[in-house]
Amino acid sequence: MRVSDLFNRDSVLLHADMADRDDALGVLVELQESNGVITNGTAYYNAILQRETAGGSTAIGEGIALPHAASAGVTAPGVAALTLRRGVDWGAPDNRPVDLAFMVAVPPDAESAHLLILARLVNLLSDETLVRNLRACVSREDFILRLARAEASRFA
């Protein structure tokens, strides 16, 4: 499974203005819902919030967060991405505000896909050049293309 194949232009929002983490999570859920990945946005948003509160922050440092949950309201694995003009507090281990977030949604019976997607994203986002380029993208198509090229190169 290629993570970049789980994106389309409507699952990416670039250079948004968000007040806080909860607003960013809401927008990511809306992106997933509009693509048909999530059938119940409210239930999924609540699952994500519970994961963030009870399970600890999904911010991994360096301004990046990977919110994720497996939920009955998810029809198929999907990923949405959001870049922010100004970072928001996400409770990151390095205390850096998050300005790049990828939301991973999977059905409850897709744990192996869930882990694979998260592992691939962490691996890809360890590349500082890729992360810098993703933050600078001016089009959603360019964002997906850069991610796809990096994934093809790294996991050929």
Contact between 87 and 51 under an 8 Å Cβ cutoff? The reply is no
Of these residues, 68, 92, 99, 144, which one is catalytic?
Answer: 68
From the number of C-beta atoms within 10 Å of its C-beta (0-12, 13-18, 19+), residue 19 rates as exposed
Q: Is the dihedral of CA 70, 75, 79, 80 positive or negative?
A: negative
Start-end of H helices in the chain: 21-34, 41-54, 111-124, 128-136, 140-154
Q: Distance of CA 153 to CAs 80, 99, 113, 120, 145, Å?
A: 21, 25, 20, 12, 12
Q: Is 15 a catalytic residue?
A: no
What whole-number distance in Å separates Cα of residue 48 and Cα of residue 69? 6
- The residues carrying an active-site annotation are 68
